[in-house]
Amino acid sequence: MLISYFSNLLYFFTLMFTKHPLLFNNKLESSLLKVSKPKSDPFFEWLAGVIDGDGHFNSYKSGRSRFHLVMDIRDKKALYDIKHRLGGSIHIIASGNALRYKLTHKKGLIRLVNGVNGLLRNPIRMLQMNKLCAKYDIELIYPKPLTFNNGWLSGFIDSDGSVYYNESSGQVFISISQKNKYLLEPLIHIYGGRVDISSPKIEAFKLSGNGNIVTTNKFTGGDHLDLEAEPSIQ
């Protein structure tokens, strides 16, 4: 009976060490920031969409890294939401009509990379972020197929989209402009709409659809959407 007791005790400690190594090795705590896991946080889903549209990761030969994001001054609340979660700074740019968010400190950059890793869909942004992944020993995760209720679209609309309400018909029209056609085409199968060339003067594609898309805006709740502004082309 004593042997059985010690056997059970040994099994318990073995199980705890396997499942919860941080309880036995405080040195592993510092590596927690480097563990890359897909996030289900709607905030990071939304942020990934914003980054795919208007964000930019920089890696310099000097070893410095930074992330920056420029948005219309009317989107100030969205930028301060990001600053509240990640730190960083916000400055008005020379024109006075836009704000630049900048993140340069290591802890914030690691939190950002881990947060949106596996959620970015723009190949350009993924290549940019992969340099930070290599620097911080984080494995780049490729995105899974987009689902209807994913917050990514709300962020993508906030950066590259516009919403128009027609009072006479009572309809809501949504459009997203983007140079990369392959970012827009998967949205048709989920939300409907169509992709066309914006115009002969603009080298971009445009996804147009009705109000079905707006139901996915679960993170912003419509607070960040600009109902009339022309989107930037990234």
Digit-coded pLDDT (tens) for 88-126: 999 999 877 999 999 999 999 999 999 999 999 999 999
Kindly write down the DSSP assignment for every residue of 186-206, as one continuous string: HHHHHH--EEEEEETTEEEEE
- Tokens standing for 142? 């490729």
For the chain, what percent of residues have pLDDT higher than 90?
44
**Greatest CA separation found in the chain?**
85
Judge whether residue 140 has pLDDT over 80: yes
Does one domain contain both 103 and 158?
no
Q: Is residue 101 part of a domain?
A: yes
Q: Does the CA dihedral 142-177-150-221 come out positive or negative? A: positive
* pLDDT given at position 217: 39
Q: Is residue 222 part of a domain?
A: no
Location of structure tokens 């510092």: 30
* pLDDT given at position 201: 58
Judge whether residue 56 has pLDDT over 80: yes
Q: Is residue 163 part of a domain?
A: yes
Q: Is residue 35 part of a domain?
A: no
Side by side, the strands of the sheet bearing 89-92 are 55-59, 65-72, 98-103, 89-92
Kind of pairing, strands 171-178 and 161-166? antiparallel
Q: Is residue 71 part of a domain?
A: yes
Which position has the higher pLDDT, 15 or 102?
102
How many CB atoms sit inside 10 A of residue 36's CB? 19
Query: Among residues 82, 106, 135, which one ends one of the domains?
Result: 135
Mean pLDDT of the 133-152 span: 94
Does one domain contain both 167 and 107?
no
* pLDDT given at position 177: 81
Query: Among residues 135, 168, 192, which one ends one of the domains?
Result: 135
Q: Is residue 234 part of a domain?
A: no
Q: Is residue 230 part of a domain?
A: no
Q: 131 to each of 62, 73, 75, how far by Cα in Å?
A: 13, 30, 28
- DSSP reduced 3-state for 111: helix
Contacts of 151 (CB under 8 A, 6+ apart): 42, 43, 45, 46, 49, 216, 217, 218, 219
Which position has the higher pLDDT, 32 or 205?
205
Measured CA to CA, the distance from residue 208 to residue 145 in angstroms comes to: 21
Query: Among residues 101, 135, 169, which one ends one of the domains?
Result: 135
Quick one: which of 177, 173, 230 has its CA closest to 207? 177
Could you report the per-residue pLDDT of 163-221, keeping only the tens digit for each? 878 888 887 878 888 777 788 888 888 888 777 776 665 555 566 665 554 443 334 33
- Domain around 178: 152-216
The whole-chain average pLDDT of the chain stands at 76
pTM over cut 0.75: no
Number of structural domains in the chain? 2
Instruction: Report the CATH number that the domain containing residue 99 is assigned in CATH.
Output: 3.10.28.10
96-134 b/e (C-beta count within 10 Å ≥ 16 → b): eebbebebeeeebbbbbbbbbbbbbbbeebbebbbebbe
Measured CA to CA, the distance from residue 116 to residue 143 in angstroms comes to: 10
Amino acid at 140: L
